[in-house]
Every structure is written in C-alpha cells, then in structure tokens.
Amino acid sequence: MTVQDAQVRKLMEEMTKHGGIGVAAMRAGMDRKTARKYVAAGKLPSELKQPRPWRTRKDPFEADWPWVQEQLEIAPELEAKTLFEALQDEHPGRYQDGQLRTLQRRVRQWRAEHGPDKEVFFPQEHRPGEAAQLDFTHATSLEVTILGVAFAHLLCHVVLPYSNWQHVTVCLSESFLALKRGLQAALFRLGRVPEWLQTDNSTAATHELSTGKRAFNDDYVELTDHFGMKPRTIRIGKKEQNGDVEAAHGALKRRIEQQLMLRGSRDFGSVEAYERWLATVFDRANKGRRERFDEELTVMSPLRATRLPEFTEKRVAVTSWSTIRVERGTYSVPSRLIGETLRVRVYEAHLDVFYGSRLQLRLSRLRGREQHRIDYRHVIWSLVQKPGAFARYRYREELFPSMTFRRAYDAISGDGPSRESDLEYLRVLHLAAATIEADVEAEIGAMLAAAEPITCDAVRAQLAMEADVAIPELTPYEATLDGYDELLEEVAR
C-alpha cells in the first residue's frame, strides 16, 4: 500500500508526543518497518521520489522532434495540432490521430521549459468610489419574451468594482444613446457620482484616429463632464482591464436565469415591465453588499446634475417617395407630408416624428444599416392610381402585411402577374387600409380555404353582409326592491 504524505505527517506528530514507534505507526496507519524508514529519513514520501530517468515506452516523435523544435523556435505560437498535421502530410502512415495528445504534451513541456515569457496579470486593489465600469452583454440566451414574442436584446451593465454594486438597463444595441440611458439610470439610482467612468473602446465612447489610436467622442466627453466624471478606457484588445464588469456578466445572467425559473415564466407584458422586474432582482442582490457599498457612498460626490434627454434630434426632409432617411434607415410617412421638413427625435428603441410641434407618428427604430420599414397605408392611395408602379416598386415586399395577403396576391395573379391582377390586389389592400385590416385578412383567408376567386368587390360585399347582421334587441332589466322587502319581512318574523 502506498504511504501518503498525510500519514507520515501524522506519524511525526505522534512521535513528538510519546516517542513510541509502534504506537505512532499504528495511529498513522502504517507498518512499523515502514514507519522506521520515514522516521530515519525525516522526509515525506513525495520528497523521497526521484524523477525517472528512463521512458516506459519508445518516443514515437523521436525521429521528427528536432524538426518540431526548430519550428517552435521560429514561431513559438504554432499549435501542436498544426505541427501534427504537417507531420502526417510529410510522412503518410507514420502517425495516427490518437498520437496527437502525445505531441501536445511534448509541445506544452517545451513551452514551459524553453518557450517565450508570458504576459503576467497583476491583481488590482480597488479604492472605494473611485470608478464605475460600464459594459454591454448579450442577453438573448435568457429566452425572455414580450407578449409571447422572442425578445433579442442586450443589457447595459454598470458595476462599482469595490463593493460589486450592480445596475442593469435593457437596450437593443451598444449605441451612445444606450450608454447614456444606462449610465443615467445607474447614477440616479445611486444618487452619487464616482470619480471615473471606465468603458472598453466601443464606438459609443471612442473613435479611431489616423494614428491607429482611439480618442473619446465629443458626445461621450460632454456626457461625463455633465456628471462631473472623468472618462477612461481600457487598452485596445485588453478586455481583462475591464475585468470586474466582464467577470460579472456570467454571474449576472446566472442570477437572472435563476430568478426567471423561480418566477415560473419568461414572458412579460412590456419591455418596461421586464426592466422593472430586473431592478427588483438587483436591488435584492445589492443588499448583501451594503457594508462596502456604504463605504463607497461616503467618498463619492453627491449627484447634482440634471437628467439629460435620452434622444438626439434631427431635421429631415420627406422625399417624393413619402419616406424619410434617419440613421441610415428608411421609413415611410403619410404622403400628405411629402416636401415638408420634419423634426425627428431618435431614441434608443424608437423614433418620434413631429411636424411643427405636433407628434405625427412613433416608429420602432430599425437595427442595422440600409434597412427599411414601409407602411402600406402611407402609399396605397397613390399606388391604386398608378398600379403600373407596383411590379418593380423597390419596397414591394413591404406591401404584403402578412402571408395571407401574399397568398391572396398569388391567387389573384393566377398564371402570372399582370397589370390587371396587380390593380385588383391593390384594391384589396386599399380596402384593408380604409376599413379594418384584420377583417379583410379573415375574409380573404376564408376565400383561399374555399378556393373562391378573390376580388375587391367580393371581399367588400362579404364585409357589408356581416355589417348588416341584425343585432338582437335586448329588453333592459328593471331592478325592483320587492324581493328585499319580502326577505326582511321573513327575517322579522
């Protein structure tokens, strides 16, 4: 039986107590002769082991190791798998796939003994109230839904490294507006301001110079100045310098995941309801950090700045296509606004469109570049008058509000699209815009199921028939208190 270091330590401890080798060996769980050997040596089993100067089996890479070593000296970053594949190509049949692990061990040993120095990371001591770290993390993996629809989103995550106090806001991108909203929400929750705001080199905070370095964006500097903070970023490609917030991302999502399971549902009535729920989750988490958090509060400056508007404002002209161009996205607007200049407030998730001081419409903001959103109601009146434009309209696919309308168009087109079939479909779409889209969709869906020809007149007639259905006339109920009087008389008896 192999003697362990712990047994020999126990043996030595017992020897110091009473000096009897027999009793000490028995209590350490070893033979008396073995105990004498270790007492005489005065060393642990691990200290008595000598490195084996021989191999138990032949080195399969002995012939080619000089070449491997030469390649590693030229390019130490070469991976063992790359070298192994090169050897297999050079010597077909000599090396089997199962020998890759052997070469990986030898390469790892060579790097440890002869490889270049590696970068050393130095743990840092955080000072109370010195800095807040801000970063974004993707949260789609949480599988949250809003009214049953999958919600692809990110979280803007703010951490105070000293106390690990945390705050999150929901966002749709790593934009400056998302950063501004997340920072303001955290600061007004705190009621205090740390000295520094630390971020990575995202485009929300910095831009690249011709020298290859990065400088702070003007908007970002104005934001930090407004709150009396100093901006700083990590070095390019050194995300570990934002380590506290980076490391907290995993724990953050695990906490949310656990609370979602406890809640029993991942569906929320609105994004605002989801964000309010997140606030309660992290309020509970932050209670456990109260002692160090109180230390931070005492050294941070009071928040005296006012809340900044969480939008940017632009003036845009409405084109003859009845569209506006905002942040590299194209949106349709009512055709009555063609030729006018509109004022658009660009929020992180939506746009508010004003003509003068009146709000005309609110649009969900497009994600990505060169996207478009066309509401058929804004253009259908003109298309009915110019049906020839439909066939090659740039945004034609936007004129099918649902798959039912697309199938209706295919059914109307029959053997192939024509001016007449296009006009008939546009008349159906015009009817949907003029009445209730859901009712028109239901009627054309029923016609498709019954294989009936779809025409605007047929759909309109069906809608009219349903509108003419007589509503039953109900006789108003007249309440009487006679029953209560009789009940009171019975009780009185």
In this model, does residue 357 exceed pLDDT 80?
A: yes
pLDDT at 244: 52
pLDDT at 53: 61
Interval 478-489: pLDDT, tens: 777 777 777 777
Q: What average pLDDT does this structure show over 408-426?
A: 92
- Sorted by sequence, the CB contacts under 8 Å of residue 177 that are 6+ apart come out as 310, 311, 312, 346, 347, 348
- Sorted by sequence, the CB contacts under 8 Å of residue 266 that are 6+ apart come out as 142, 143, 144, 145, 260
pLDDT at 121: 57
Q: pLDDT grade, residue 448 (50/70/90)?
A: very high
Interval 86-97: pLDDT, tens: 999 999 989 999
Residue in 355, 375, 363, 358 with CA at minimum distance from that of residue 315: 355
Q: pLDDT grade, residue 234 (50/70/90)?
A: low
pLDDT at 215: 85
211 vs 195, more confident: 195
Q: pLDDT grade, residue 375 (50/70/90)?
A: very high
Residue 443 C-alpha from the chain's centroid? 40
Q: What average pLDDT does this structure show over 41-66?
A: 76
In this model, does residue 468 exceed pLDDT 70?
A: no
In this model, does residue 411 exceed pLDDT 70?
A: yes
206 and 178 in contact (C-beta within 8 Å)?
no
Q: How far is Cα 200 from Cα 48, in angstroms, rounded to an integer?
A: 51
Interval 378-404: pLDDT, tens: 999 999 999 999 999 999 999 999 999
Q: Give the angle subtended at the CA of 46 by the CAs of 43 and 49, to the nearest 5°.
A: 95
Residue in 377, 416, 374, 411 with CA at minimum distance from that of residue 396: 374
In this model, does residue 187 exceed pLDDT 70?
A: yes
Q: What average pLDDT does this structure show over 339-366?
A: 94
Q: pLDDT grade, residue 313 (50/70/90)?
A: very high
- Quote the mean pLDDT of the chain: 87
Q: What average pLDDT does this structure show over 4-13?
A: 84
Q: How far is Cα 349 from Cα 346, in angstroms, rounded to an integer?
A: 8
pLDDT at 24: 85
pLDDT-wise least confident of 5-9, 47-51, 126-130, 250-254: 47-51
Q: pLDDT grade, residue 326 (50/70/90)?
A: very high
